[in-house]
Amino acid sequence: ATDPPYGRSTSTNGESLDSLYARSVASFGEILEKGSRVVLAKPDESMISSVDGFATVETHPLWVHRSLTRHFSILERL
């Protein structure tokens, strides 16, 4: 399970969130065996909606406060 930075109070050192998340998931693909799963928390449901080598099993929103709903996605390595 991972909860990468959302770029609000934690710096991404100038890297876009899309790029950071794409690099992260690509790294997961290098270390996870087929059928393995990863849980990814993200600030927007549409981020990482489809990733080569992974299938989204399910996504669950969790309202945190007025300006943040976390979306927990379970991704399975194909």
Q: Could you report the per-residue pLDDT of 18-36, keeping only the tens digit for each?
A: 787 788 888 888 999 999 9
Distance from C-alpha of 29 to C-alpha of 45, rounded to nearest angstrom: 20
* Largest pairwise CA distance in the chain: 38
Which of 23, 28, 75 is closest to 49 using CA atoms?
A: 75
| 22-75 pLDDT per residue, tens | 888 888 889 999 999 999 887 777 666 667 788 989 999 999 888 888 889 899
